[in-house]
């Protein structure tokens, strides 16, 4: 994860501990861990559970502007 995020310095990665009966996880319908939710301006653009590196790159591409 750190290596993939190194190519996207403007993206903040916030790790949140979630467990049963926690409202944040339930609000995103998280059922499997780890789950990644790619947000931009408060809007979820992509959500994936147990992602592969390729899926993480796809999520990052959806929330970051293309490089010049």
Report the pLDDT averaged over residues 27-52: 93
CA 9/CA 31 separation, integer angstroms: 29
Q: What are the structure tokens assigned to 5, written together?
A: 């995020």
Domains and CATH numbers, the chain: 2-63 (3.40.30.10)
- Whether 21 has a pLDDT exceeding 80, the answer reads no
Sheet strands (E) in the chain: 35-40, 43-49
Q: What is the pTM of this model?
A: 0.85
What is the structure's pLDDT at 67?
Answer: 67
- Whether 63 has a pLDDT exceeding 80, the answer reads yes
- Whether 39 has a pLDDT exceeding 90, the answer reads yes
What is the structure's pLDDT at 22?
Answer: 77
Place of tokens 């998280």: 30
What share of the chain has pLDDT > 90, as a percent? 63
């Amino acid at each position: 994860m750190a290596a993939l995020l190194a190519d996207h310095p403007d993206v903040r990665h916030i790790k949140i501990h979630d467990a049963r009966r926690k409202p944040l996880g339930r609000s995103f319908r998280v059922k499997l861990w780890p789950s990644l939710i790619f947000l931009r301006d408060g809007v979820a653009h992509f959500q994936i559970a147990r992602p592969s590196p390729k899926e993480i790159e796809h999520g990052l591409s959806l929330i970051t502007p293309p490089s010049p």
